[in-house]
């Protein structure tokens, strides 16, 4: 049962109308979902970037539907109130509208997502229309589409040239007309994001698309400084978990090697009478008496 604080698409629409920005982070597990909910993040995206940041793949393509739905279920358990977006993985919606509807249904009915996200352009307008008709709330992801990386040829800003920008702006309009309930713009120039955001009623979430979108999503590992290498220039880092965690792991390893952990404080002792009985039983069996406990 949604609580009074549940963030819905209605909340996001109001936020757009009132020009109050929407915060969104990627989230892939129960414990982090709890923290994000406690911190007041508006929306959590169970993104297929999990393949890269958690599984170590170089693209998002290896994510499977079952795996994504399992992650979404865990995130929902940790966060009953945030607006939960399930990212449909590669080939779970591109093959045909029937697949798209059935697979989206798992995110909605099994995992309890509030909407699903699909990476689209005008060629998938019929799919988005079919999903909307089937009561699937769709967030249309436009601009850079990581699932198409092999055809695009790299992670590049999209719409830098006027004809390409116009095409993305038209695609956004088509998605709105097809029944999408929100848009996500990835790696489009600031001006393009501003034009789309101003010209639609839909909440528009941006990533690497400038400050004019209605909301902002970031991959959590990037903003936390968690994972390999330097964060991209487009990301503001809010913590340095890399250093914090390496420090903790190093301290643990040192403790174990130097017998600083575990100590009696971290261990469970037998009741003295039980231990005496055990010693007697062992002595009867082996003839060897264990030392009494200090
Ligand atoms: O999967 C994901 O994390 C995403 C974001 C990059 C928007 O789609």
pLDDT at residue 287, as a whole number: 77
pLDDT score recorded for residue 293:
62
User: Which pLDDT value is given to residue 234?
Assistant: 86
Q: Please give the Cα distance from 117 to 139 (Å, whole number).
A: 5
Residue 23 to residue 34: CA distance in whole angstroms: 15
226-236 pLDDT tens trace = 987 777 778 99
Domains of the chain: 9-218 (3.20.20.60), 246-286 (no CATH)
Distance (Å) from CA 218 to ligand 1 centroid: 8
Say what the pLDDT of residue 238 is: 97
CA torsion, points 185, 138, 215, 78, in degrees to nearest 10? Answer: -120
* Residues in Cβ contact with 17 at an 8 Å cutoff, skipping those fewer than 6 apart: none
Nearest CA residue ID for atom 3, ligand 1: 47
Q: Give the pLDDT score at 294.
A: 56
Give pLDDT tens digits for 191-239.
999 999 999 999 999 999 999 999 999 999 999 999 877 777 789 999 9
Mean pLDDT (10-residue bins), the chain, 294 residues: 78 98 98 98 98 96 98 98 98 98 98 98 98 98 96 92 98 98 98 98 98 98 87 88 97 98 96 97 84 63
CB 101 within 8 A of CB 148: no
Catalytic residue selected from 186, 198, 258, 274: 186
The alpha helices in the chain, defined as continuous H runs, are: 9-17, 30-39, 50-53, 65-78, 97-105, 125-133, 149-152, 162-178, 190-198, 220-224, 241-257, 272-286
186 among known catalytic residues: yes
CB 107, CB 69: distance < 8 Å: yes
- Euclidean distance between CA atoms 39 and 25, whole angstroms: 11
Please indicate whether residue 186, judged by its CB atom, sits closer than 6 Å to ligand 1: yes
- Residue 146 CA, closest ligand 1 atom number: 8
CA 287 to chain centre: 61
Give residue-wise pLDDT tens across range 236-273.
999 999 999 999 999 999 999 999 999 999 999 999 99
Task: Give the model's pLDDT for residue 1.
Answer: 41
């Amino acid at each position: 049962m949604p609580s009074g604080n549940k963030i819905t698409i209605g909340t996001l629409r109001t936020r757009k109308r009132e020009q109050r920005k929407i915060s969104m982070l990627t989230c892939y597990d129960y414990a982090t979902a709890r923290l994000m909910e406690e911190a007041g993040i508006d929306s959590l995206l169970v993104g297929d970037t999990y393949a890269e940041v958690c599984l170590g793949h170089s693209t998002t393509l290896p994510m499977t539907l079952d795996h994504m739905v399992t992650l979404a279920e865990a995130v929902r358990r940790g966060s009953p109130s945030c607006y939960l977006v399930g990212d449909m993985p590669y080939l779970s919606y591109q093959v045909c509208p029937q697949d798209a509807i059935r697979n989206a249904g798992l995110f909605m009915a099994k995992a309890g997502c509030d909407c699903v996200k699909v990476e689209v352009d005008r060629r998938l307008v019929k799919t988005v229309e079919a999903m909307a008709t089937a009561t699937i709330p769709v967030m249309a992801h436009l601009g850079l589409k990581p699932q198409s990386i092999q055809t695009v040829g790299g992670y590049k800003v999209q719409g830098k040239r006027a004809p390409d920008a116009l095409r993305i702006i038209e695609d956004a309009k088509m998605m709105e007309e097809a029944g999408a309930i929100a848009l996500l713009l990835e790696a489009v120039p600031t001006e393009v994001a501003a034009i789309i955001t101003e010209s639609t009623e839909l909440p528009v979430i941006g990533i690497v698309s400038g400050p004019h979108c209605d909301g902002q999503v970031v991959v959590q590992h990037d903003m936390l400084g968690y994972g390999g290498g330097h964060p991209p220039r487009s990301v503001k880092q809010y913590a340095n978990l890399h250093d914090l965690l390496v420090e903790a792991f190093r301290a643990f390893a040192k403790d174990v090697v130097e017998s600083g952990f575990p100590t009696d404080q971290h261990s469970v002792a037998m009741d003295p009478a039980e231990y005496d009985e055990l010693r007697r039983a062992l002595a009867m069996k082996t003839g060897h008496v264990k030392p009494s406990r200090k």
